[in-house]
């Protein structure tokens, strides 16, 4: 047996020669705590093994070695080693606490709770054990219980910053935004340098519709931590929504550095400014690394059952007065109930809008899940025997990735709500068409691609257009002007796009640009930016929000030509313009988001309005604005095509998407993995 009476141990730390083995072990035990606290994991491991050679039943060496393994993410070894320590001494609350953390790493959440409770039973004032127990509650989606445990930890240690911070996050998850804001402010009062707290505060202020204050919080987070991925992306997104373009290049450079260093960032804001599908994939994959460990549902083997209707569940945060709801409602109504049973999970409560009521009436089984945990939603879908779970939200507001991470159905699908890849291994397919995802771009999507033949985009062909068109004066538009319009959200505006629009306005006499930007800060900034480009601010006219789709379609007919945004195209707004009979000029790029309007134009039978460069886009806008006969012919053809082309053939779309679902289902029933395929026209 090797003894520990050398002048220098294997840790490389000099020590006096011990007088006897017991003294040496005592000295080594003291050093273990010091080395581990200093983060010197290799030295801690070496000393543990040296101790265990002399005393195989040394409690602290097993405990410390398990903690080292846990730090390294080697949770199975950690659980085994700490379990051995507990066989030696099961009265240590610290060992039970560490055991719980190893079990949590293994996603054995219920077992982890047992260990944490043992720790608390042995040490009722153990704040860290309450904190860790709260973390497992969050993993399980039991946010109310998590909040109670954070409160216990904070009562024991009022300046426990991590507990204060995670308590604020739990309040945010519960939708208690004003309380969450106060909670983040409490964190900042204890630690003014806590960048994550400023990021959380920015998130809450965004939800509370206080965007200017939110941007200040995100910027402060970045000042404290220049490599803060979430604050950088969310700040960039908010700056886009407010049309605050100062520092835009600096924000982009910061995001590039984060992605190059393999840091996790939120993917959606990248779509606004960057036509870079490879970057979008990298960001989407990085997003999933931020998600907590989750336990997958126990799914029934639906392959072995008798042939019956395929249960499809659509999951969305947008079953309300939102473009997604208007797009999918007729699809839901038309689904073939002899072959499909249609479920819907709403991640937000009812807004009592007519579209919400129509959606609920169109669904066989409608679940209001706003107050349900991710685990409860996933388990309910699994219990119902749902075969295909369709994510209609993706990386947009209200997304709850924890539902899909738990694998609520044997087949999962990314569709419509997010124009890009999910990046998640838990999503099997993305529904697309050959234009939005060309063959050469397939490798830039984590999912297998289900190609629909004409367009992936679905719309409601039942929407009334309104019998009469209101006068231009009723919409504050000049009577004899040429009306360019772009009813995109403000975040799709970019300085480059506004420069192109300014050149078009300067070259088309007596023209105005009709926009739909509701945020007063964005309006003020756009007025300033257009004047900086040599165009009077009076040539921008902002349309007020109206809730009636019929009135919106009627007023849209006052526009002469819709100018699309890039690199994030108009999607529902372009579809609306085409439905109302207004031609749309688009510029297609490489990313899904930049090719949607092109897909719509092909499906509407006017592909000649698709351009491939800014120069082509500008030239086509000038050509149509200066050739009334050519423009009138396109409008007439668009009106005629509405009844015969695929864009507004919702029943045809229904048949195609059902064929896609059947192909997915047939592969599953045969035991085959997901694979790309194309639906026949």
pLDDT at 173: 84
Asked whether 81 and 69 are in contact (CB, 8 A), the reply is: yes
- Closest C-alpha among 424, 309, 302, 306 to residue 658: 309
Topology agreement, domain 202-296 and domain 473-648:
no
Block means of pLDDT (10 residues each) for the chain, 681 residues, are 32 37 69 83 88 89 90 92 93 95 93 96 96 93 92 97 96 92 98 97 94 94 87 87 89 79 81 92 89 79 77 97 96 97 96 96 96 90 96 94 95 98 97 97 98 98 88 94 96 96 97 90 96 98 90 94 97 96 98 98 98 98 98 96 94 98 96 97 95
Element (H, E) at 310: strand 310-316
- Closest C-alpha among 212, 556, 329, 588 to residue 434: 588
Query: Could you name the CATH architecture of 202-296?
Result: Alpha Horseshoe (1.25)
pLDDT at 11: 30
- Please tell me what DSSP assigns to residue 441: G
- Please tell me what DSSP assigns to residue 265: -
What CA–CA distance (Å, rounded) separates 312 from 402? 19
- Closest C-alpha among 369, 366, 552 to residue 463: 552
Between β-strands 411-414 and 677-678, what pairing exists: parallel, antiparallel or unpaired?
Answer: unpaired
Handedness of CA 350, 353, 354, 359 (dihedral sign): negative
Alpha helices in 364-422 (DSSP H): 374-384, 401-405
Q: Give the per-residue SS3 of 316-376.
A: ECCCCCCHHHHHHHHHHHHCCCCCEEEEEEECCCCCCCHHHHHHHHHCCEEEECCCCCHHH
pLDDT at 641: 94
What residues have CB less than 8 Å from 372, skipping those under 6 apart? 380
Q: Which two tokens stand for residue 282?
A: 């990298």
Q: Which two tokens stand for residue 393?
A: 């939200």
- Does CATH number 3.40.50.300 belong to domain 473-648? no
pLDDT at 194: 97
Q: Residue 613 CB: number of other CB atoms within 10 A?
A: 11
pLDDT at 139: 86
- Burial 274-290, CB ≥16 within 10 A → b, else e: bbbbebbbbbbbbbbee
- Closest C-alpha among 663, 666, 665, 671 to residue 452: 663
Domain boundaries, the chain: 202-296, 310-451, 473-648
Helices 572-580 and 549-556 cross at an angle (nearest 10°) of 70
pLDDT at 6: 33
What CA–CA distance (Å, rounded) separates 529 from 563? 18
Asked whether 344 and 314 are in contact (CB, 8 A), the reply is: yes
Q: Which two tokens stand for residue 392?
A: 């209609």
Is 481 buried (19+), middle (13-18) or exposed (0-12) by CB count in 10 A? middle
| Rg of the chain on CA atoms, in Å | 29
* pTM listed for this prediction: 0.82
| Pick among 3.50.30.30, 3.40.50.11380, 1.10.10.10, 3.40.120.10: CATH of 310-451 | 3.40.50.11380
Is the preceding peptide bond at 352 cis, omega within 30 degrees of 0? no
Q: Residue 489 CB: number of other CB atoms within 10 A?
A: 18
What CA–CA distance (Å, rounded) separates 582 from 635? 7
Q: Which two tokens stand for residue 551?
A: 């009135």
- Closest C-alpha among 411, 481, 487 to residue 450: 411
What CA–CA distance (Å, rounded) separates 492 from 232? 18
Taking CA atoms, 446 is separated from 242, 475, 624, in Å, by: 32, 45, 40
């Amino acid at each position: 047996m090797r003894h520990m009476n050398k002048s220098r141990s294997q840790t490389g730390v000099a020590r006096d020669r011990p007088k006897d083995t017991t003294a040496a072990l005592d000295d080594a035990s003291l050093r273990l705590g010091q080395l581990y606290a200093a983060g010197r994991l290799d030295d801690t491991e070496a000393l543990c093994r040296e101790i265990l050679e002399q005393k195989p039943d040394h409690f602290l060496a097993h405990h410390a070695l398990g903690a080292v393994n846990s730090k390294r993410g080697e949770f199975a070894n950690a659980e085994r080693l700490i379990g051995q320590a507990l066989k030696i001494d099961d009265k240590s609350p610290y060992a039970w606490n560490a055991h719980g953390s190893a079990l949590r790493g293994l996603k054995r959440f219920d077992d982890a709770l047992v260990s944490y409770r043992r720790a608390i039973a042995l040490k009722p004032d153990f704040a860290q054990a309450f904190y860790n127990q709260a973390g497992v509650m969050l993993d399980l989606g039991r946010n109310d219980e998590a909040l109670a445990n954070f409160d216990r930890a904070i009562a024991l240690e009022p300046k426990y910053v991590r507990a204060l911070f995670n308590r604020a996050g739990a309040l945010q998850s519960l939708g208690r935004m004003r309380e969450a804001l106060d909670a983040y402010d409490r964190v900042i009062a204890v630690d003014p340098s806590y960048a994550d707290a400023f990021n959380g505060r920015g998130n809450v202020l965004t939800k509370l519709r206080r965007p200017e204050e939110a941007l200040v919080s995100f910027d402060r987070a970045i000042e404290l931590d220049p490599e803060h991925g979430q604050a950088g992306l969310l700040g960039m997104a908010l700056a886009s929504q407010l049309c605050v373009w100062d520092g835009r290049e600096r924000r982009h450079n910061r995001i590039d550095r984060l992605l190059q260093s393999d840091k996790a960032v939120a993917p959606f804001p990248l779509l606004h400014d960057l036509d870079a599908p490879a970057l979008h994939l990298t960001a989407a994959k990085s997003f999933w690394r931020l998600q907590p460990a989750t336990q997958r549902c126990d799914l029934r083997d639906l392959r072995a059952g008798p042939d019956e209707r395929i249960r499809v569940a659509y999951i969305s945060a947008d079953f309300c007065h939102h473009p997604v709801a208007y797009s999918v409602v007729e699809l839901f109504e038309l689904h073939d109930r002899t072959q499909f049973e249609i479920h819907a999970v709403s991640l937000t409560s009812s807004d009592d809008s007519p579209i919400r009521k129509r959606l609920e009436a169109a669904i066989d089984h409608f679940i209001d899940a706003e107050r349900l945990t991710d685990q409860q939603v996933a388990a309910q879908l699994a219990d119902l025997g749902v075969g295909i779970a369709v994510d209609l939200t993706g990386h947009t507001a209200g997304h709850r990735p924890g539902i899909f991470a738990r694998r609520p159905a044997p087949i999962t699908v990314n569709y419509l709500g997010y124009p890009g890849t999910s990046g998640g291994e838990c999503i099997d397919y993305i529904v697309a068409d050959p234009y939005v995802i060309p063959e050469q771009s397939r490798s830039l999507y984590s999912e297998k691609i289900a190609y629909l033949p004409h367009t992936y985009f679905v719309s409601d062909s039942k929407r009334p257009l309104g019998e009469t068109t209101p006068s231009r004066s009723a919409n504050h538009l000049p009577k004899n002007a040429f009306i360019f319009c772009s009813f995109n959200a403000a975040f799709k505006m970019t300085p480059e796009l506004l420069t192109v629009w300014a050149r078009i306005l300067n070259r088309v006499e007596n023209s105005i640009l009709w926009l739909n930007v509701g945020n007063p800060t964005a309006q003020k900034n756009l007025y300033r930016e257009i004047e900086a480009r040599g165009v009077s601010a009076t040539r921008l006219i902002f349309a007020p929000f109206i809730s009636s789709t019929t009135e919106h379609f009627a007023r849209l007919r006052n526009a002469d030509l819709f100018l699309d945004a890039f690199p994030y195209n108009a999607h529902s707004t372009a579809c609306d313009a085409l439905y109302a009979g207004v031609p749309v000029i688009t510029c297609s790029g490489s990313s899904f988001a930049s090719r949607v309007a092109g897909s719509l134009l092909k499906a509407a039978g006017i592909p000649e309005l698709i351009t491939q460069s800014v120069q082509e886009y500008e030239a086509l806008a000038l050509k149509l604005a200066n050739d009334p006969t050519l423009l009138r012919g396109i409008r007439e053809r668009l009106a005629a095509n509405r009844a015969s082309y695929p864009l507004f053939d919702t029943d045809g779309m229904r048949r195609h998407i059902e064929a896609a679902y059947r192909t997915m289902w047939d592969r599953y029933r045969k035991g085959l993995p997901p694979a790309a395929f194309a639906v026949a026209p």
